[in-house]
Amino acid sequence: MIQALVRSLKRFVSRVKQYVKQWSKPAIASIAVGSLSDLKRSRRDLIIENAMLRQQLIVLNRQVKRPQLTQGDRLRLVLLARLTEFWQQALHIVQPDTLLRWHRDLFRRYWWCKSKPGKRDPRISPDTIELIKQMARENRLWGAERIRGELLKLGVKVSKRTIQKYMLKERNNQPVQTWSTFLKNHFRNMWACDFTVVNDLLFRSLYVFVIMELHTRRIVHAAVTRSPTDEWVAQQLREATPWGEGPKYLIRDRDSKYGKQFAAVTDGIKILKTPVRAPRTNSYCERLIGSLRRECLDHMLILDRLQLDRIVQEYLDYYNHSRPHQGIGQQIPESLAKDNPWPTRKSGGKIASSPVLSGLHHSYARAAVSSY
């Protein structure tokens, strides 16, 4: 029985190969080669072959599906129809009106290509075009006349119509002020908050809540809990804003943890809720949480809440006081908050290394040089 199955399988594979070979077999001769070979044949053979072809087309016309013609097929049929007066009798797969319509379309395309103007270089320099696009991109409130005035101030004379041409291409119907532009305009008065979930040794969930300042990327507050209720979240914001010192704007998502008590604490702070399924609107806080996980939590085995809270607080201190941040030009968040850029010394003082998070990271600093 196994042998019979093997033979059946071989026959099936052989038939499939033959079908694929016939289906993918290219045409042996083109129309030009076939026409040249017909010159040697007698008139009787050509008439009989035409009759056979007509009969085959009659059979094809009985099929339900319409034949699929390419642009090359249409072009060949139109050109061949121009060479004979009996083209209407030779058509079987398409109607004569269809062929005439193809001819009109080809005629229209021919004159469209013939009358199409050549590509002309712009009359203004590429630097001026790039400057117009830059002004349109950076100043969403500016119109063409406002950009024209700014260019005149720089000694560049461009017509209003030209400015409209390039500024419309650059703006591409985008809103006047994007979310990114709004964030950059209000960095100094804006905070953001979010949650992340960590599983302990017994796969129980622990929630880490962080609040950051966007301008300096400084972590303002961080806390850990097993049950993030509205009352607990409100208390964390209260601890982050002592003596009523808080931001003008606070970005948060639409989580139900931010309830009535949280809203009561945010009195005087304008809450900006992120759209649904739009994590980029809170991208800075999302990036902070990603750094917290990649640089710390993913390398730790969490036993309980107290251990996680201790780890988060140690990372907070390292992040704010020792870790350079790419988004603020490799400066330290706490130094930027005090308007004191990271001091650089070319020489002098021995470099000391301090372990952070049990040696997971290290902080480097130059020791003070003694004057004695």
Q: Which amino acid is at 166?
A: Y
Residues 91 and 224 in one domain: no
Predicted confidence (pLDDT) at residue 28 exceeds the cutoff of 50:
no
Minimum mean pLDDT among 137-146, 150-159, 171-180: which range?
171-180
Cα distance between residue 106 and residue 123, in whole Å:
34
Residues 91 and 170 in one domain: no
Cα distance between residue 210 and residue 288, in whole Å:
9
CA triple 348-349-352, angle to 5 deg: 145
Cα distance between residue 110 and residue 88, in whole Å:
24
Would you state the pLDDT for residue 188? Answer: 75
Which CATH number fits the domain that encloses residue 193?
A: 3.30.420.10
Residues 87 and 134 in one domain: no
pLDDT band at 26; cut points 50, 70, 90: very low
Return the higher-pLDDT residue of 152 and 343: 152
Residues 201 and 244 in one domain: yes
Question: Residue 83: inside a domain, yes or no?
Answer: yes
Cα distance between residue 289 and residue 221, in whole Å:
13
Total of domains in the chain: 3
CB of 329 closer than 8 Å to CB of 348:
no
Question: Residue 97: inside a domain, yes or no?
Answer: yes
Residues 233 and 328 in one domain: yes
Question: Residue 230: inside a domain, yes or no?
Answer: yes
Would you state the pLDDT for residue 306? Answer: 95
Predicted confidence (pLDDT) at residue 305 exceeds the cutoff of 50:
yes
Q: What is the mean pLDDT of the chain?
A: 81
Would you state the pLDDT for residue 195? Answer: 95
Residues 208 and 335 in one domain: yes
Question: Residue 18: inside a domain, yes or no?
Answer: no
Residues 152 and 223 in one domain: no
Residues 211 and 226 in one domain: yes
Question: Residue 315: inside a domain, yes or no?
Answer: yes
Return the higher-pLDDT residue of 122 and 173: 122
Predicted confidence (pLDDT) at residue 259 exceeds the cutoff of 80:
yes
Residues 221 and 306 in one domain: yes
Predicted confidence (pLDDT) at residue 293 exceeds the cutoff of 90:
yes
Cα distance between residue 156 and residue 127, in whole Å:
11
Question: Around Cβ 27, how many Cβ atoms within 10 Å?
Answer: 8
Would you state the pLDDT for residue 294? Answer: 93
CB of 303 closer than 8 Å to CB of 201:
yes
Q: Which residues pair with 198 in a beta bridge?
A: 206
Residues 189 and 295 in one domain: yes
Question: Helix 144-153 and helix 126-138: axis angle, to 10°?
Answer: 120
Mean pLDDT along residues 95-103: 84
User: Which among 256, 315, 313, 314 has a CA at the least distance from the CA of 290?
Assistant: 315
Return the higher-pLDDT residue of 122 and 366: 366
Residues 200 and 286 in one domain: yes
Element housing 283 (H / E): helix 283-295
Question: Residue 169: inside a domain, yes or no?
Answer: yes
Q: Where does residue 329 rank: exposed (0-12), middle (13-18), buried (19+ CB within 10 A)?
A: exposed
Cα distance between residue 323 and residue 364, in whole Å:
10
Q: Which domain holds residue 254?
A: 183-340
Question: Residue 119: inside a domain, yes or no?
Answer: no
Element housing 196 (H / E): strand 190-199
* 185-240 tens-digit pLDDT: 666 788 999 999 999 999 999 999 999 998 888 999 999 999 999 999 999 999 99
Query: In Å, what is the CA distance from 339 to each residue of 80, 331, 335, 336?
Result: 82, 11, 6, 5
Return the higher-pLDDT residue of 34 and 253: 253
DSSP labels for 323-360?
--BGGGTSB-HHHHHTT-PPP--SS-S-EEEEEETTTT
pTM passes above 0.95: no
Single out the residue in 78, 112, 146 at which a domain terminates: 112
Question: Residue 40: inside a domain, yes or no?
Answer: no
Residues 192 and 247 in one domain: yes
